[in-house]
Amino acid sequence: MTNMDKLYDAVAARGPVCVGLDTDISYLPEDFVDSAKTAGENIVAFNKAIIEATKAVAGCFKVQIAYYESLGMDGMKAYADTLAAVRAAGVPVIADIKRGDIAKTAEMYAKAHFEGDFEADFITLAPYMGLDSIQPYMPYMQQKGKGVFVLVRTSNPGAKDFEYEKLADGRHVYDMVGDKLNELGKQAMGESGYSSVGLVIGGTHIEEAAEIRARYKDSFFLIPGYGAQGGTAPDIAQYLSCGNGGVVNSSRGILLARKKQPGVKFDEAAYNECVKMKEAIADACSKL
């Protein structure tokens, strides 16, 4: 089984919610912070509580490396410890690193994030230097079952700047990128029918949702944009296939859920938000 097969099974068992551990020290409740610990140590303790509270209702977790890099060496230890905590919980983990270089540099990125202290099940990549920025990761997909999620059509307003530009054949730039990645992904297919080359498809632009899902039937989607960025359950449902075929990320909405649930502990509030999100997406999928 590939990691994408395992992610497919995880979504089937627990739903498509991806808990984003994009944890800033300011997100921690004041009464939770231990002044005897470093910022990184406090963040790890918070993350572990979130993981424990939500692992039964999360398809996966995603760890955005920038939040940890910003704390220097203390943060990078927290990053490694957080990845290890998710993997110890038996839940797939995506390292959101968005690397996009080529040749030996890309080989080193692959080694750094698919082995050793920073090992993850999946990583995110940026493809705009070309397919040779993706190829160095293929051996890990083909030989070790690792997976990648590559930026195709993102959830930010600036997606319109480049990704939506039209080509001479009438396709958008994001169509061209998706088509090439879909073809490349055929070299690393799993038992579930999905490739180890997944696509990042933002959930905030829904005009082409049905077309994109139909076009990339064997590509698993990482879908950002839910909640704080404006994506709703009915929007997101259109990018899934019978409730599977993708994971839907929410970071601040889950990490800061206590702010909308007065008197509820942060970890319990995170669990409640995951359940609410999971049920809303399931309901929207049932109406398609």
Which residues are catalytically annotated? 98
Residue of 271, 279, 284 lying closest to 50 (CA atoms): 271
CB 243 within 8 A of CB 284: no
173/165 Cα distance (integer angstroms): 6
Residue 90 phi, psi (nearest 5)? 75, 25
Exposed, middle or buried: residue 98 (CB in 10 Å: 0-12, 13-18, 19+)? middle
How far from each other are the two terminal CA atoms of the chain, in whole angstroms?
30
CB count in 10 Å sphere of residue 55: 18
- Residue 131 CA to residue 111 CA, distance in Å, equals 18
